[in-house]
Structure formats: C-alpha cells, structure tokens
Amino acid sequence: MPVKIILQQSPDAAALIEMRRRLNAVRAALVEREAGLAQLRSQLKAFEGRYLHRVGVLYAELDEINARITEREVDLYDSDSARRRAQEARRRAQDTHDAAFGVDEEPQEFDPPPSLKTLFRELARRIHPDLAGDQAEQKHFTLLMMRANEAYSRGDADTLERLLDDHREISAAAGESDALTLKRVTRQIEHAERDLAALDREQQTLLASEIGQLFTDAETAGRNDRDLLAELAATLRERITDAQYRLEFTERQMNAHGK
Amino acid sequence: MENKAQAGLQHIPTSGGLSLYSGRSSIFARGRRDASNSSSNPDYQRAVVDYNSGQFAQAAQGFRAAAEQGHAESQYILSTMYDEGKGVAHDDVHAAHWERIAAEQGHVYAQANLSFRFYSADNFAAAFEWCQRAADANLPWAQYNLGLMYQIGEGVAPSEAEAAHWFRLAASQGFADAQQRLADLYYLGQSMPRDYAQAALWYRRAAEQGNARAQFQLGYLYDVGLGIEQDYVQYRYWIRLAAEQGHKDAIREMNRRDYRDP
C-alpha cells in the first residue's frame, strides 16, 4: 500500500487557501453585480429614450405654445412684467425642447492627451487577461480591462490611476513567502469589497434619480396593467389642446384690437 | 489609504449617455409629478364615484389613501373636505396640512387656497408668495387677487403697473372683477395713459357678466359719450341693471332721472 505523505501545512498556507476561496467568491459576486448594474443602466437608457420620445416631446410642444401665448400677451399689452413672463416662458420652452430632442452637450471628439495614453498602456500591460495566472484571475482581469477601457474612452485619468495603484499594491513578486501572499490576497479582497460597495452606491444613486424613480413607477404600474407613459401622454395632449385654445383666444383678441 | 478605499471605483456612466446628472433631470421630475397625479389613480377614481353619489365619509377615505400616495388632486379635495366638515369632522389643522402638501406639489387651487389661508391670518408676505405661484400658473382668481395685493401693497411694494398686468391676465380669461378693475385703471389714467375706449370695452365685458360697478360706469360713459358714442337708451339700460343690484350711485342716478324725465 503506497504511503501518502501529507505535509503539515503551515498556518499561513492554510489561511491562504481560505483567503483565496474568499477572494474568488467576492470577485464572482463583483462580476454578477457589475452585470446586473450594466443591465439596469441599459434598461434606464432605453426607458429614457421611450419617455423622451412619447412624453418629452409633448412637454416641449406644451411649453412652446405657452411661450407663444405669453409673447402674444406682450404684443397685446406691453409691460415689464409681461415681458419678464414671456422671457421666462421662452427660456423654459427652450430648455424643455433641448431636453426632449436631445440637444445635449456637444459630442466631444475623442482625442486623449498623451499622458492618458501612457497611463492606459501602463495599466493594460499589467492587467491584460492573457497575463492571468489562472482562470479565476483571468476572469477578474477581463473585468478590470473592461473598466479600464471604459475609463479610457471617457478620458477618466483618475479611475485609470486608481486601477493602476490597486494593481501595483497587489502584484506578486516571484517567490514571495506565504505570509506576503496572504497579505496581498487580503488586500485584493479589500479592493473587491470596496468595489462592490461602490457598485451598490451607484445602483442606489441610479434608482433614486428622477429617471430611476419614474422607471420604478412605470414598472409598478405595468404590473397592474397600466401604461404610465401612455397615461401621461394622454393627459399632456389634453393640456396641449387647452393651451392651443388659449393661444387662439389671445390671437383673436389681438385681431379684435387691431394690433 | 482610507480615503482611497472610500472613493473606490467611480462608475460614472457617461459613456452610455444616461443623462442622470444633466439638465434633463427636470423633464423626468415633471413626468413623475404629473404621473403621480394622473386621474387613473384607482383610489382617487373610487373616491370620486363615492363623492358624486354623496358617500362623503367613504370618499374621504379614498381621497386620503390617494393623498398619502402623493396624489395632489386628492390632497386638495381632502383639504376642502376638512374645511367644510364633509365626510370628516371639520379640522383646520388637517385642512391646512393637506392643502400645503398639494400646493407644494404645484396644485394651483391648493396654492390659491393656501394663499387665502395666510391672508386671513394676516400673513401677507406668505399670502403674496403663494398667490404669485398660482397666478403664474394662470389661475384667473389668483391673478386678480395678486393684482389687488399689488394695488394695496399687501405683502409687496405697491405698484399700479404690476396690478394692471395681473388684472389684464385675469381679465382676458374672462374674470369679471378683474375686467372692471382694469377698466377702472384705464378710466382713471394714473398708472397708465388714460384710454376711455379701453375703459368702455372692459367695463362692457364685466357689465355683461353682471358686475354692478361696471354696469354703472358703462352707463355713465354712455351718458357723457366717453370712449363710446353717447346713447341715452344704453345709459338707462345699464344704470337700471346696476341699481337693481343695489349699486348706490346707480340708485341715486335713477331717482334723479325719474325726477328729470318720469
């Protein structure tokens, strides 16, 4: 019968196994959370598009008519307050129009400064998935690369630096002792937990935002067979009809006064 | 290290173009407010049916349920029910509470009522502020009251020009008292150029809606031919209508006329 030689594990080595298990678990959770958040983000994005398309444009129409009414009122009876009112209404109409028709910040051309390029290369060299030691690490590196790409494409040097710092802090030296590795893995767990918390915060921020809450309301209504956006649009169309009538009334008045 | 750990990764989703932090958020806020006030709120709908069939206590319960969900119209109706003691015991505190919440959500009638509540309590500054919000939202009654507050200088520095502006907005929506006040301003010609034709025009609109002072003034303008062609029949017609409503000057005029041409 062959004798199996079982080496007595050092306390560090035993702890290391446990820590690695924890690291893999928390990193797996991170991937899940990241995917969930990406889904929420794209759901919100799609909802935003639907909302602007079905409701936002109606707000723009309503505000435009209201602005015209106040402007006709200035034509009818000029006064400081009438003019101030017309200016405010016009500004509001412009804002709503911009919001509804997506006249956003100029889509800036992507031309990263050389320093950002250097930083990105420096980071990519270290976290490229091909460099991963095992499968778990490869998965993690893929995630990091994705983040780095995102940060790079929006010119976010801070995030790139943070990723690089994280990596420097934990990068393994060849032939390090178990104690050192243990320290390193502990740091890695801390980083992952910190990132998880950041994702939680982002999810809360997303859901607490106006669009997030409107999305939640619409989902709740949908479960009760209600179409919140359709209801909103119907109410708005009524208000537009009212405003249209008021505009025509003001214009009739102008004609009656012969101005 | 502590700081960094707190900062963590920043996932600012600008790449996806989600306009969470942009100027767009107000258009979403508006939709949310309007949606929560939609007339399809089931509690509100049920309460309206109860109210219309005279089941006020039940209606009050329904309105309260919807009000607690943030339904502004229900909050407003509930406040008026507390005011009138309809379906619930009369309760000023509750009435003021729901009125204020609805007003803060932009419910125009609630704003006007809240303004009146402050006015009755001699808090003119707050009364003015809420009246202005309702007036800005085009409520004729509030525009008229705001004009009055400008005229007298309650809660605001007096300004006849501002008063004229607000009277005009209310008047062009057909609010008779505002039409009469605007006509007065044209007739007196203190804060704006005197214009008897405009005065006659607005007096006529108010007079046709039964405003006694406007009827008397219009009659007078017909009598002397100011802003309109002199017309004795019209003069008699409008003065009589005003007198029938108990307008003192009109009654005196009638008596004088009876003496003059029986």
The more confident residue out of B186 and B138 is B186
- Complex ipTM tops 0.85: no
So what's the pLDDT on residue B6?
Answer: 36
Q: B233 in contact with A at a CB cutoff of 8 Å?
A: no
The predicted pLDDT at position B114 comes to 95
pLDDT value of position A241: 93
Most confident of A22-36, A164-178, B220-234: B220-234
Chain B contacts of A212, Cβ < 8 Å?
20
* DSSP class of B53: T
Summarised one tens digit per residue, pLDDT across range B222-252 is 999 999 999 999 999 999 999 999 999 999 8
Helix axes A228-256, A57-76, angle to 10 degrees: 20
CA distance A115 to chain B (A): 20
How many CB pairs below 8 Å do chains A and B form together?
126
Cα–Cα distance for residue pair A188/A169, rounded to 1 Å = 9
Q: Judge contact between A19 and A187, C-beta under 8 A.
A: no
- Asked if B25's CB is within 8 angstroms of A211's CB, the reply is yes
Question: In A52-177, which ranges are continuous DSSP H helix?
Answer: 57-76, 80-100, 114-127, 135-153, 157-170
Q: Is the pLDDT of residue A40 over 60?
A: yes
Contact of B129 with chain A, judged by CB distance below 8 Å, is answered with no
Residue A105 has pLDDT above 80, yes or no: no
Angle, alpha carbons A187-A191-A192 (nearest 5°):
120
**What's the burial of B259, exposed, middle or buried (CB within 10 Å: 0-12/13-18/19+)?**
exposed
Residues of B in contact with A77 (CB under 8 A): 165, 168
Please report which confidence band the pLDDT of residue B51 belongs to, taking 50, 70 and 90 as the band edges. very high
* Tokens encoding B2: 């502590």
Global pTM? 0.65
Instruction: Kindly determine whether residue A214 and residue B28, on different chains, have CB atoms separated by under 8 Å.
Output: yes
A99 with B5: Cβ contact below 8 A: no
Q: Which of A30, A37, A42, A48 to mutate to test the interface with B (most CBs of B within 10 A)?
A: A48
Measured between beta carbons, the chain A residues lying within 8 angstroms of B11 are 37, 198-199, 202
Whether residue A162 and residue B9 make contact (CB cut-off 8 A), yes or no, is yes
Q: What is the CATH number of domain B42-105?
A: 1.25.40
pLDDT of residue A159: 85
CA distance B210 to B90: 34
- From B153's Cα to the closest Cα of chain A, the distance in A is 16
Token representation of residue A33: 């959370």
Q: Which residues contact B244 (CB under 8 A, 6 or more apart)?
A: none
The reply to whether residue A95 touches residue B39, judged by beta carbons under 8 angstroms, is no
pLDDT of residue B11: 33
- Domains of chain B, residue spans: 42-105
Q: Are B146 and B166 in contact (CB under 8 A)?
A: yes
**Does pLDDT of B31 surpass 50?**
yes
In chain A, which residues have their Cβ closer than 8 Å to the Cβ of B166? Answer: 81
In this prediction, residue A171 has a pLDDT band, given cuts at 50, 70 and 90, of: low
User: What pLDDT is stored for residue B106 in this prediction?
Assistant: 83
Per-residue pLDDT band at A94 (split at 50, 70, 90) = very high
One-letter amino acid for residue A166 of the chain: D
> For tokens 């935002």, what's the residue?
A209
Judged by CB atoms closer than 8 Å, whether chains meet at A232 and B168 is answered as no
Judged against a pLDDT cut of 70, whether residue B14 lies above it is answered with no
Which residues of chain A have a CB within 8 Å of the CB of B38? 228, 231-232, 235
User: Quick check: B225 contacting A, CB < 8 Å?
Assistant: no
Using a CB–CB cutoff of 8 Å, tell me whether B15 touches chain A: yes
All residues of chain B having their beta carbon less than 8 Å from the beta carbon of residue A108 are none
Q: Quick one: pLDDT band at residue B19, thresholds 50, 70, 90?
A: very low
Q: Name the residue among A42, A56, A190 with its Cβ closest to that of B5.
A: A190
User: How far out from the chain centre does Cα A246 lie?
Assistant: 41
Q: Name the residue in chain B with its Cα closest to that of A236.
A: B34
Helix runs in chain B, H state only: 2-7, 25-36, 42-52, 56-68, 72-84, 92-104, 108-120, 124-136, 140-152, 160-171, 176-188, 196-208, 212-224, 232-244, 248-260
Which residue among B7, B28, B162 sits closest to A211, beta carbon to beta carbon? Answer: B28
Out of A126-140, B5-19, B82-96, B174-188, pick the least confident: B5-19
Please indicate whether, in this complex, the C-beta atoms of A79 and B164 are within 8 angstroms of each other.
Answer: yes
Confidence band (pLDDT; 50, 70, 90) for B100?
Answer: very high
Q: CB of B60 within 8 A of CB of B68?
A: no
Q: Which residues of B touch A195 (CB under 8 A)?
A: 8-9
A-chain residues within 8 Å CB-CB of B165?
77, 79-82
Residue A203's closest chain B neighbor by CA?
B11
In the prediction, which pLDDT does B128 show?
A: 94
Report the alpha-carbon distance of residue A254 to residue A232 in Å, rounded.
33
Instruction: Read off the pLDDT of residues B166-188 as tens digits, 9 standing for 90 and up.
Output: 999 899 888 999 999 999 999 99
pLDDT-derived band at B3 (thresholds 50, 70, 90) equals very low
- Pick B18's closest partner by Cβ from A41, A153, A213: A41
**Minimal Cα distance from B198: which residue of A?**
A257
Say yes or no for a CB contact (<8 Å) between B30 and A105.
Answer: no
Residue numbers in A near B17 (CB within 8 A): 45, 104
What are the domain boundaries of chain A?
19-103+112-170+178-256
